[in-house]
Each structure stands twice: as C-alpha cells, then as structure tokens.
C-alpha cells in the first residue's frame, strides 16, 4: 500500500514539475514577446497608437509663381478653402446639411450623401472663396472642417496660355510650363493633427499639432509681358482680318535662344481651361468635348509640323555658302520653270525672272535658282547638313509635346526630292525648329536651344537654380553667317520682303508661302521670318498665318504683321 502511495506522489510531483515548466516556458515566451514589442517594435506600435488617436488633414502649400523676365507675375495664387466633414463627429446632421446646401449652393442629395458617408474625412467642396469659408466656420458646427487652400490664378487670363499651361484641382501642373517645372513650383503640403477618442471624436480642448507647409519656389521666364501683349494683339488682328485657322508668332533672342514671346492664336482662358473657346464651342457637352479641349490646349508652335516653304531657302543658302558652291554674284537664268528628271517645277513667277544673280535670286525667292543650287549640293551632303544644323532632331525646348521633323530617309532623296527640299517642300518641321535653326545661322553659327525657363528663385528672390543651355555646337562659319545676314537684309530692303521694311532700321528676313496637304484642298500657310538689327541680330520674329482667306502670299500678308511687331518692340528693346 505504501508503495502505491509513494508512486502516486512521485507521479503528481512530475505532473506539477511539467506544468510548472510549461508555465515557465509560457512566461518566458511572453516576456520575450514583450521585450521584442517594446524594444524592437516599439516605434512601430507607438505610431499605430498615434495613428488611432490622431486624425490628420493637409495644409496646402502655395504653388510658386511664374514671372516674366522683368518680374511681372503671369501665374499666382488666390486663398480659398476646402470644406470637409467628419461623420462620427457631427452632432446635428440635419442642421449641417441645411447649412452646407445654403452656403455652397449644392444639391441636398449630394450633401446628404457625403455627410452620411462613414469615412475618416469626406470632402464636400474645394476652391470655396474665403468669405464663404469664414461664414461656414462661424456656425461652429462639430464635424465641419474649413481648411486653408490655394487656387491657381492667371492675372492676364489668356495671355501666353499655350506656353504657361494650367493646373488641375490638386494644384498639380497639367500642360505647358506648369507641368514642365512642376517639381519646383508645387511645394510640400503641411499637416494638421488633431487628437480623437476611441470613437474617433476629437478630444475637447486638445491642442492641434501643425506641420507647416513648404511653399513652392517661383519660375523666372524669358517671356516679356509687353512683347507677348504686342504679339497677341497683332495675331488677333491678322486672325480676324484674314479669317484664318490660326496665327502663330515667335519672338526669340537669336544669340541665346530665349523665347520673349510665343503666341498661338486663338488662345484660351487659363482661369477657365475646361471651357471651350468660340472656335470649338459647338462641341461643348458632346462626346467629342475632350478631343477639342486637347486641340484648344495644343501649342501649334511646337507640337505641329508644316512645310516651311521659301523660308527654308535660308538653309539651302547656308549649305551652299559653307561648301563654296555659290557666290553672291553667280548668274542664273529663270524662264519660269525648271525640269528635274521628268518633273516640271514652276517658279512662283510663271513668266520667269530671266537672268539674275544669286543675290537677286534670293530677293526674288526664285525656285529655279534654288533647285539649281540644291542639285549642286547633292542629296548626301544636303542630308548631312540637315543633321549638322540640328534639323533632324527636336530642338529640346523646355515645353512638353514637341514634335519631330518629318524628313525623307537619306537613301530616299532622289533628284526630285532634293529639288523640292531646296525650296522648303516635301518635308515638315515645327515653327520653333525653323526659328531656332535660322537664329543659329544668323548669330555667327552657334546652335541655340530655344527655351522659356531661366531660373528658379525662392520667396526672398534668391536664386535657387539657374538653367544652362548648350551653346557649344558650331554649325556654320562666321563668314557664312555674315554673308547670309547681308543677303537677307537685301530681301527686305530690295526684294520680296519689302512689306516688312522700316525706314531707318536694317531688318533682314525671308518670306514664304507653302501649301498644306492634300494639295487639292487649296489651303496655304503664309509666313515671314525677320530679324533686327541685320548686322548683329538681337531679336528674331517668325509670323505664320494658317489658311488665310483671299490673298495668301507671305510677303503680302505675313510681312506686314512682322513689320507692325518690329515697330512696337524695336523702340522698346532699344530704350
């Protein structure tokens, strides 16, 4: 009997020992887990707890301004409010709904849906004027939040709209400079942190923590408000007078590629960028509205290509001078046409110019002369110079959506293609490419990068970053550039560009008239490119009138527009 009792005691002791060991191991695991949580995962769980007891709302950063070269503000901000509600903090839902409907002019159905939605925070309306926001705040309703915000505003409405671009509802750039320089302009939002209880209701009298926003830096551009205004007025006048599809004007400093003005008329209202202009208003509310909004925002100066026509004779002349294949006094004969293989290509003067020098040929914009010169150059050399001059790639302008040149492949350039290329047909380039290439050929031969952005400054006006553009690529000799300037000055003073002539000023330039595809549509593009002063250019002006009614010759309708611009900006630049 004692034996069994002893065995029973031993058995119980073992059970107790095993149980105690298990308890000890469990306690050890729990202690280890606590140490792991407190020491190694402490920050993570502190953050989780904080997140549960804190509610955060954004404080919007003010977007940086966009300025012209003289400090004129082209894009700024207006103080507005964002109205939101927090469902589980609202104590008088019906009164809140009625108040928001009254103050915000929204439908009861839409407000009720948002107020009754169970979420951490629900936005009712943004871009609310500050006066309305203050009235809503004065009601003192629990659960209604009025947060400071900013709305992008453009003081001059449509001025330079295709260049500046605009922002979306979140103040992020969508097109133009606004999107190109978005990272500099947008800033960094701040936070408002409020403490809540387990139900998500704000703790009474608990302090709010604020993380202040960092406002964006400002962009200083090469645009000149006055020159942009002059050009916009000139484009509008030409657009109305010629009932054209559009008018484009580029004003550039040929020495460094700075864009002083860029107009693509009609422009649109930057403060109402989703309202179709008169040109496209018939498509409002249709399924095609987005397509025509994109057309309205599109900058034809950089995003579309066209046959440049006789302006491109500037390029042919430069190649021939560089290769020493023509001199100013070389003689040519124009009977009004020229045969290339089996193709009869006419001069614009069908009766012909007769005997003429090369200088007279460029003054007369004589196609047979330039076809002759182009054939002397040869397809391979011509194509190689197209590459050397930078015409076979994009200019690199600091605006989104630049189109590339549409050109024959080198092997596909036969005598007929070369003949038509020599006077600016059978290929397509952008207006900004024509402006940049011509600027490079007349400035002494330095290839420039057209650009609008100059530098980034902070709120105190200190330079944060200055942008540099490559100017190391020499594309022609100074001698060629000098001869070219002399020839183009004679075009204005003695030749087909005389409608741009201003007494007392030496202006160089070239006219052009080209036909759009398909040729059967009988639509034309009239243009004139001029620069001043002819001996040392500091401003270049390109005028393009698309599909004008009536007379469509560039020398007749585009040159006078350029003259008007020069008459306004030369005294302004010389002062």
Q: Say which CATH number the domain at 100 has.
A: 3.90.1310.10
In a domain, 7, yes or no: no
pLDDT at 89: 86
| Confidence bin at 54 (pLDDT 50/70/90) | low
Instruction: Answer with the residue of higher pLDDT: 512 or 522.
Output: 512
In a domain, 179, yes or no: yes
Last residue of a domain, which of 179, 194, 221? Answer: 221
Shared domain for 97 and 233, answered yes or no, is: no
Domain range for residue 326?
227-272+300-574
In a domain, 391, yes or no: yes
In a domain, 45, yes or no: no
Q: What percent of the chain has pLDDT over 70?
A: 91
Shared domain for 139 and 214, answered yes or no, is: yes
Shared domain for 194 and 239, answered yes or no, is: no
Q: Is the dihedral of CA 446, 449, 452, 456 positive or negative?
A: negative
H helix or E strand, kind and range, residue 109: helix 108-115
Q: Is the pLDDT of residue 204 over 70?
A: no
Shared domain for 455 and 504, answered yes or no, is: yes
Write the pLDDT tens digit of every residue in 522-531: 899 999 999 9
Shared domain for 465 and 560, answered yes or no, is: yes
Shared domain for 157 and 237, answered yes or no, is: no
Nearest to 361 by CA among 491, 554, 480: 491
Shared domain for 263 and 164, answered yes or no, is: no
Last residue of a domain, which of 221, 237, 253? Answer: 221
In a domain, 168, yes or no: yes
Write the pLDDT tens digit of every residue in 374-402: 999 999 999 999 999 999 999 999 999 99
* HEC profile of 494-506: CCCCHHHCCCCCC
Number of H helices, E strands in the chain: 19, 19
Question: Would you list the DSSP string of 410-421?
Answer: GGG--HHHHHHH
- Between strands 190-195 and 122-129, the pairing is unpaired
Lowest mean pLDDT among 12-16, 237-241, 411-415: 12-16
In a domain, 4, yes or no: no
In a domain, 207, yes or no: yes
Give me the CATH number covering residue 562.
Answer: 3.40.710.10
Q: Residue 298, by phi and psi: left (phi above 0), alpha (psi -120 to 50) or beta?
A: beta
Nearest to 485 by CA among 459, 516, 510, 457: 510
Shared domain for 472 and 492, answered yes or no, is: yes
Overall size of the chain counted in residues: 575
Write the pLDDT tens digit of every residue in 121-146: 889 998 899 999 999 999 999 989 99
Per-residue pLDDT, averaged over 301-317, amounts to: 98
Which is catalytic among the residues 218, 310, 481, 526? Answer: 310
Write the pLDDT tens digit of every residue in 525-549: 999 999 999 999 999 999 999 999 9
Shared domain for 372 and 443, answered yes or no, is: yes
Shared domain for 355 and 211, answered yes or no, is: no
What does the block give as tokens for 100?
Answer: 């928001």
Average pLDDT, the chain: 91
Total number of domains in the chain:
2
Shared domain for 193 and 268, answered yes or no, is: no
Last residue of a domain, which of 203, 221, 239? Answer: 221
Which parts of 149-205 fold into alpha helices (H)? Answer: 161-164, 176-180, 182-185
Q: Is the pLDDT of residue 477 over 90?
A: yes
Q: What percent of the chain has pLDDT over 90?
A: 77
229 counts as catalytic: no
Per-residue pLDDT, averaged over 250-257, amounts to: 98
In a domain, 171, yes or no: yes
pLDDT at 53: 46
| Confidence bin at 51 (pLDDT 50/70/90) | very low
pLDDT at 554: 97
Write the pLDDT tens digit of every residue in 152-193: 999 999 999 999 999 997 889 999 999 999 999 999 988 877
Shared domain for 485 and 554, answered yes or no, is: yes
Strand-pairing partners, residue 543, are 249, 528
């Amino acid at each position: 009997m004692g034996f069994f009792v002893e065995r029973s005691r031993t058995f119980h002791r073992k059970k107790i020992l095993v149980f105690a060991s298990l308890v000890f191991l469990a306690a050890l695991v729990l202690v280890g887990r606590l140490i792991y949580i407190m020491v190694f995962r402490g920050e993570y769980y502190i953050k989780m707890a904080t997140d549960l007891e804190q509610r955060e709302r954004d404080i919007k950063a003010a977007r940086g301004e966009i300025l012209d070269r003289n400090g004129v503000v082209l894009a700024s901000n207006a103080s507005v409010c964002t109205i939101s509600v927090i469902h589980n903090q609202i104590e008088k839902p019906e009164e809140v709904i009625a108040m928001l409907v009254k103050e915000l002019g929204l439908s009861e159905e839409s407000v009720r849906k948002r107020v009754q939605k169970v979420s951490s925070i629900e936005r009712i309306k943004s871009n609310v004027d500050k006066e309305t926001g203050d009235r809503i705040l004065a009601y003192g309703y629990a659960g209604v939040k009025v947060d400071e915000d900013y709305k992008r505003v453009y003081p001059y409405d449509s001025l330079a709209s295709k260049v500046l671009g605009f922002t979306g509802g979140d103040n992020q750039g969508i097109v133009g400079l606004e999107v190109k320089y978005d990272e500099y302009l947008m800033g960094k939002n701040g936070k408002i942190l409020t403490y809540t209880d387990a139900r998500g209701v704000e703790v009474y009298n608990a302090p709010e923590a604020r993380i202040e926003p960092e406002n964006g830096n400002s962009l200083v551009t090469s645009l000149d408000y006055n020159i942009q205004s002059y050009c916009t007025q000139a484009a509008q006048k030409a657009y109305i007078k010629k009932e054209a599809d559009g008018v484009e004007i580029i004003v550039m400093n040929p020495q460094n590629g700075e864009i002083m003005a860029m107009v693509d008329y009609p422009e649109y209202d930057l403060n109402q960028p989703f309202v179709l202009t008169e040109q496209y208003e018939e498509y409002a509310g249709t399924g095609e509205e987005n397509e025509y909004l994109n057309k309205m925002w599109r900058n034809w100066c950089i995003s579309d290509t066209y046959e440049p026509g006789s302006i491109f004779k500037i390029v042919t002349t430069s190649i021939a001078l560089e290769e020493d294949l023509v001199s100013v006094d070389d003689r040519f004969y124009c009977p009004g046409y020229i045969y290339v293989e089996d193709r009869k290509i006419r001069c614009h003067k069908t009766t012909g110019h007769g005997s003429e020098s090369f200088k007279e040929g460029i003054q007369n914009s004589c196609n047979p002369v330039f076809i002759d010169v182009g054939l002397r150059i040869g397809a391979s050399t011509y194509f190689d110079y197209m590459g050397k001059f930078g015409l076979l790639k994009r200019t690199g302008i600091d605006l989104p959506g630049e189109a590339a040149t549409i050109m024959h492949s080198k092997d596909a350039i036969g005598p007929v293609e070369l003949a038509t290329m020599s006077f600016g047909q059978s290929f397509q380039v952008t207006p900004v490419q024509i402006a940049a290439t011509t600027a490079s050929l007349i400035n002494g031969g330095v290839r420039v990068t057209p650009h609008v952005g100059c530098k980034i400054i902070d709120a105190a006006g200190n330079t944060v970053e200055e942008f540099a553009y490559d100017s190391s690529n020499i594309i022609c000799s100074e001698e060629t550039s000098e001869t070219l300037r002399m020839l183009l000055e004679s075009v204005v003073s003695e030749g087909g560009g005389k409608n741009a002539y201003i007494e007392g000023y030496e202006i160089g330039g070239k006219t052009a008239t080209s036909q759009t595809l398909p040729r059967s549509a009988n639509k034309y593009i009239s243009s004139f490119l001029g620069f001043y002063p002819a001996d040392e250019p500091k401003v270049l002006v390109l005028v393009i009138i698309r599909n004008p009614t009536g007379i469509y010759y560039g020398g007749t309708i585009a040159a006078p527009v350029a003259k008007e611009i020069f008459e306004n900006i030369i005294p302004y630049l010389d002062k």
